[in-house]
Amino acid sequence: MGKVTGFKEFDRVVEPYRSPATRITDFKEIYTPHDEGHLKTQGARCMNCGVPFCQSNNGCPVYNLIPEWNDLVYKGRWKEALDRLHKTNNFPEFTGRVCPAPCEGACVLGITSPPVTIKNLENAIIDRGFDEGWVIAKPPEHRTGKSVAIVGSGPAGLAAAAQLNQAGHTVVVYERDDRVGGLLMYGIPNMKLDKDIVERRVQLLRDEGVFFKCNTDVGKDVPIEQLLENNDAVVLATGATKPRDLNIPGREGPGVHFAMEFLTYNTKSYLDSDLDDGHFISAKDKHVIVIGGGDTGTDCIGTSLRHGCKSLANFELFPKNPADRSSDNPWPLWPKIHRIDYGHAEAAEHFGSDPRKYSVSSKEILRNDDGSVKGILTVAVDPQLKEIPGSESFWEADLILLAMGFLQPEHYINENLGAETDARGNFSANKVNYRTNINKLYAAADCRRGQDLVVRAINEGREVAREIDRDLMGSTNLP
């Protein structure tokens, strides 16, 4: 432990984002450059606990060795910190940017004080590693002669590919979009995760021997049965891509879009032409309503602001969370508290107030004679979600974005296969061996467990790779 009294001497200070007024004028990353001195001080706050809850089940899903690399950053031993970080996490440059940091919610220091800035430190370590040239391709020395097909190139698919390739198996990843990355590429906007960061890691995987086939939709372009016949194992890592819809009058028609449709088209157009091609859903000069909170809702807010929307409101069905933990939400559980994310801060800067409206239930979308959206009728609800009489409101709107989460994977891949699904529509496979009822077919992450975090997808990608390696070889050295 580098600084025994560091947690007493130093306050928590997170690395700042670029100013809201500046960053909403572009799609560049919101982050500012790392300051080594500041990070060493923040690393000194780690208490090196006897039981590090930050890397427990309540903390980091990939079991990052957090106290170890906190201490190494404090001591200025950055390359060693990078080695420790890569032992458990294939893609810290992704989680260091987009993970909500459950590790910080479980930090022991957080019982009495603000927790260690774990996410900042993780991001700084991997960025330093790339800047210094320490992160290089490491192809396996030997090949096993076994082949594995992975359906989906999101965080789970990429993690499984990285691990199985290191074990010496030949890995082909199938992606239905034109670029590799799945959610990382098209589901998260560029200002939160620059796509050069994603492509940099994908190129490393290519250099290590992983093969990628884009514009290939398994279940449509290629039968899943063909992959099972031609490979020793197949992994379903398709994600939970069926969105929750809003079944109210007026829903059908122009001007109402799922969040992922809005975000995907925007990122693709941005990458293809810097938005010059116009092939995206524009919020410019529109009254925008975003229905649903969470990260996806925030990303819709941030994207709409960058387009130049005229007004912005974000409906949340549930009440506003308290400023501090409630009695039924004790440490080390994830703290269910009020947070201000980047998009909320940007909207407050631009329009003068936080865009979120709590305890609001949508009742009907109103349309003009030409079918265009005119607005939306809502009603306030109490904490039990019962409607409050006399609380009806009308909100002007030209564009309504649905960001209410995801229900299950799409099932066209399974039409003729017969893979079993659970009551929620996810592929049935347990977390012990990840096998489905179909021989050689495995399922991992969101298509198995339901919508969840990027870091949990990475964890399941690593675990399914380990179990496949064990099944193929009789034993495994994969973590």
Predicted confidence (pLDDT) per residue in 394-445, tens digit: 999 999 999 999 999 999 999 999 999 999 999 999 999 999 999 999 999 9
Contacts of 18-22 with CB under 8 Å at 24 or more apart are 20/342, 20/345, 20/346, 20/348, 20/349, 20/350, 21/349, 21/350
Task: Report residue 57's pLDDT band, with 50, 70 and 90 as the boundaries.
Answer: confident
- Rounded to two decimals, the pTM is 0.96
Residue 256 clears pLDDT 80, i.e. is over it: yes
**pLDDT (average), residues 371-387:** 97
Nearest CA among 211, 146, 212 for reference residue 465? 146
Residue 30: the pLDDT is 98
Residue 144 clears pLDDT 80, i.e. is over it: yes
Residue 418: the pLDDT is 94
Q: How many residues are listed for the chain in this entry?
A: 479
Distances (CA, A) of 286 to 185, 226, 373: 26, 47, 11
Domains and CATH numbers, the chain: 6-131 (1.10.1060.10), 147-241+407-473 (3.50.50.60), 245-404 (3.50.50.60)
Distances (CA, A) of 127 to 13, 60, 92, 152, 462: 19, 20, 9, 26, 22
Residue 2: the pLDDT is 66
State how far the Cα of 220 lies from the Cα of 224, in Å rounded to an integer.
Answer: 9
Q: Which DSSP state fits 52?
A: -
Task: For helices 454-473 and 155-166, give the axis angle rounded to 10 degrees.
Answer: 30
Residue 13 clears pLDDT 90, i.e. is over it: yes
User: What residues form DSSP beta bridges with 421?
Assistant: 427
Pairing of strands 399-402, 170-174: unpaired
Nearest CA among 396, 390, 391, 392 for reference residue 376? 396
Residue 262 clears pLDDT 80, i.e. is over it: yes
Task: Report residue 210's pLDDT band, with 50, 70 and 90 as the boundaries.
Answer: very high
Task: Report residue 1's pLDDT band, with 50, 70 and 90 as the boundaries.
Answer: low
State how far the Cα of 72 lies from the Cα of 322, in Å rounded to an integer.
Answer: 35
Sheet holding 256-258, edge to edge: 256-258, 399-402, 287-291, 311-315, 356-357
How many other C-beta atoms can be found within 10 angstroms of the C-beta atom of residue 355? Answer: 24
Which tens digit of pLDDT belongs to each residue from 25-45? 999 999 999 999 999 999 999
State how far the Cα of 126 lies from the Cα of 139, in Å rounded to an integer.
Answer: 20
State how far the Cα of 90 lies from the Cα of 208, in Å rounded to an integer.
Answer: 13
What is the residue type of 267?
T
Residue 48: the pLDDT is 87
Strand residues in 318-392 grouped as ranges (E): 356-357, 360-367, 373-380
Nearest CA among 110, 105, 94 for reference residue 157? 94
Q: Which residue has the tokens 């906007």?
A: 189
Which tens digit of pLDDT belongs to each residue from 282-321? 999 999 999 999 999 999 999 999 999 999 999 999 999 9
